[in-house]
A = this chain, B = another copy of it.
Amino acid sequence: MKIPSSSIPRISLYYRAILSLEAVSVTSSQQLATLTGCSAAQVRKDLAYFGQFGRPGSGYNIEVLKSELKKILGIDRKWEVALVGVGNLGSALLTYRGFKTQGFSIKCAFDNDTKKVNKVKQGIRIKDIDELERTVKSKGINIAIVAVPRGAAQGVIDRLISSGIKAILNLAPIRPRVPKGIELLNIDLSIELERLTYFLRQSANPLRG
């Protein structure tokens, strides 16, 4: 069955929602809908793509659902992540505690700035970019976050892929080329801001400023 790609981030939302429901043992598509801003039909549809987790008449057992959603999302295990680029944004990601609570752990960090190399941040000794291939291969890391300047991004991503990285979260403002079979997600903050200004421009509201 074809699963809409848009259903995956919603599964993450449902998972977070049930984490906030520790006191009860059962929930419903309606409750999950209210908690996440999705429709109840959407919740049931999304869950049904992956199995029959509920009981008609009573709803979804929270412990069952929690465990199933973790399996679906692949977070029923720890994942080690490589970070490339320890500038302002990279440093922020290194200290971001939200990753750890979801089972992600930044295990190594690289930069090409010799002033940063060998400095320790959050218990991670920053490595020279030259050590990227060796380290990623030897640690068997599958996921990388790229937080380097625009001009360096494609080169870094090529090197990550040749080191065996299979999934990349790219924060540099380019659309890198990657071969088939590599999962790439781009987060471009300026593009997001432009979605906002498009809206403000269209808006009927009399804008100030």
- Chain A contact residues, CB within 8 Å of chain B: 8-9, 11-13, 16, 36-37, 71-75, 79-81, 87-89, 91-93, 95-96, 98-99, 101-102, 104, 139-143, 150, 164, 166-169, 173, 175, 177, 181, 183, 185, 187-201, 203, 205, 207-209
With beta carbons under 8 angstroms apart, the residue of B88, B143, B200 that contacts A197 is B143
In the bound complex, do residue B166 and residue A207 qualify as a contact, i.e. CB atoms below 8 Å apart? yes
In the bound complex, do residue B193 and residue A104 qualify as a contact, i.e. CB atoms below 8 Å apart? yes
Nearest chain B CB to A80's CB is how many angstroms away? Answer: 7
With beta carbons under 8 angstroms apart, the residue of B9, B99, B183, B199 that contacts A199 is B183
In the bound complex, do residue B190 and residue A185 qualify as a contact, i.e. CB atoms below 8 Å apart? no
Complex Cα gap A201–B201 (Å):
41
Residues of B within 8 A of A195 (CB): 8-9, 12, 183, 185
Residues of B within 8 A of A164 (CB): 208
